[in-house]
Amino acid sequence: MVEFPAMKNDLLLRAARGEETERAPVWVMRQAGRYLPEFRKVRESHEFFEVCRTPELATEVTVQPIRRYTGLIDASIIFSDILVIPQAMGMEVQMNPGPHFPDPLNTPEDIEKLTKVVDVNKELGYVFEAITSTRKALNGEVPLIGFCGAPWTLFAYMIEGGGSKTFQKAKTWLFRYPEESKALLLRIADVCVDFLVGQVKAGAQLLQVFDSWAGELAPHHFHEFSFPGLQYITKGVRQKLASLGIPSVPMTLFAKGANHALSVLAGEGGYDVLGIDWGIEPSEARRIVGDKVALQGNLDPNLLYGGRDAIEREVKRMCEGFRVGGRVKGWIANLGHGITPGVDPEDLRWFFECVRKYSS
């Protein structure tokens, strides 16, 4: 393991373990991204996946929001993309501007086109290099989060060939070819495990699994097709780290739109933190999960377009909703999904300042 500078701010890690904190740690999903002019400047001369695959560039854009919001932000998340896993499995992915697969999986026979055994060090070593480089660049200022996409979300992209409003192709697979679908989901989960373990070895201090399309499944289909892979990942990561003699790190699951599954995820999922979207009140989420897990979330990202008064009002409401007996305990403040490209960076600064004010 590489030696890294001592942590100066471990607020996120303490909150993820369910501890009481002096205020809520705060970061936002997609915080290294298109809303920042300094990020857009980098992208003027570098293609999206080129930034992902070049450790120096990935480090630079990961650190940009930490540099801009010095002292206001409590975590960094490595600049990468959930679709590096399909790439590692042998699929071509283009970004123009959204993700596009020129040759998606149309029938189960197409699974034969995928790489049989994925060597994550060979295929995704650039992410590990970027993580190690970024940990050093952060110099202990804030923890570094590693991540991957969840099997169901990646499966949907690989079959749909990009984003979708209906998920017709991916769901056709689930319903028409359930056993082949489960086998592919498990193959994806295996790569996720190896990828996340590699990120911890490289220096990631917390891991997040993004199941962005969880809410597209009926509750019973979520339990049949998505949940097993999510559970498999936490068990696999912890077992592999233990076998290597590496301490485990906190793990967060963000299953967007799957608030119906909070009880099961808190009881059997194996995650330390559950991210929630704005479709559930914080107090209701806490009632469901009790003290089994920490929570992360959950401001509607579109509120960042609503002006300073609206941001302050809703952040105050959010902070009150997440308090446990008047205390801040086991809560990481965040948005209920990723920040969108048109947000004024100064309005995001106001969001951070309001979280600090009302969660202290």
Q: Which residues carry out catalysis?
A: 30, 34, 43, 81, 157
Secondary structure (DSSP) of 286-352: HHHHTTSSEEEEEE-GGGGGS-HHHHHHHHHHHHHHH-BTTB-BSEEEEESSPPPTT--HHHHHHHH
**Cβ-contact 213, 256 below 8 angstroms:** yes
In this structure, how many other beta carbons lie within 10 angstroms of the beta carbon of residue 270?
Answer: 18
Beta-strand relationship, 94-95 and 273-275: unpaired
- For residue 146, the SS3 value is strand
- Rounded to whole angstroms, the Cα distance separating 351 from 348 reads 5
Beta-strand relationship, 206-211 and 76-77: unpaired
Residues 6+ apart with CB under 8 A from 28: 334, 335, 338, 339, 348, 351
In this structure, how many other beta carbons lie within 10 angstroms of the beta carbon of residue 57?
Answer: 18
Backbone φ and ψ for 148, nearest 5 degrees, come out as -155, 170
Residue 285's closest CA among 234, 334, 249, 348? 334
**Cβ-contact 285, 266 below 8 angstroms:** no
Q: Is 351 exposed, middle or buried (0-12, 13-18, 19+ CB in 10 A)?
A: buried
- Rounded to whole angstroms, the Cα distance separating 119 from 88 reads 8
Host H or E run for residue 144: strand 144-149
